[in-house]
Amino acid sequence: MNPMAAAVFAVVLVVAIGLFARRAALIYRLIRMGKPAARFDDIPGRARAEAVVVSGGRGVGSKDGFAIIEELAGLLGAAVGCSRVVTSAGWRPHSDQVGQTGTKIAPDLYIACGISGATQHMAGCKGAKRILAINADAEAPIMQNADYAVVGDLREIVPAISAEIRKTR
């Protein structure tokens, strides 16, 4: 696995454990499904060469809400992606849309924030080597496809991950 992706997993684990210790009301699940890696040659798309994509869905809440997604992506040297709901709302350009009617990507790590995991969205990111889902709903469909998941409010979790990454620099 790419060292950056491995570092992100480590940071997420630390953040999840830390938040869990402080807030018992939040439930964090780490899911490991051991999926085989995708063959990059089969999957066209701009993220083929990008190690990490940080993507936001309706759960981000607004155009301004993407500031925390952009911040995390910036720290990781990652691309920003989004769901169709987001492009339909005008929060991000269509060029950022991942999915059946967007771009098909195959990064080492796909971080899906506030994205439910509709089949049309998964069609665009199923080539990712690993998927980390951050979602308030433990039963969201994306949890079935995620290698790792953090259940909770992305507005709390995403900045916490960014803060932990900053501490390492």
**Footprint on this chain of ligand FAD (rule: CB under 6 A):** 57-59, 83-85, 97-102, 114-116, 118, 120-121, 124, 135-137, 140, 153-155
- Closest approach of Cβ 89 to ligand FAD, in Å? 9
Nearer to ligand FAD, 45 or 102 (CB): 102
Distance CA 150, CA 109 (A): 15
Contact 149, 29 (CB under 8 A): yes
CB of 151 to ligand FAD, least distance (A): 8
Nearer to ligand FAD by Cβ, of 154 and 160: the residue is 154
- Are 59 and 85 in contact by the 8 Å Cβ rule? The answer is no
Smallest gap from Cβ 46 to ligand FAD, in A, equals 14
Q: Sign of torsion, CA 123 125 130 135?
A: negative
- Choice between 25 and 169, CB closer to ligand FAD: 25
- Asked if residues 105 and 46 have their Cβ atoms less than 8 Å apart, the reply is yes
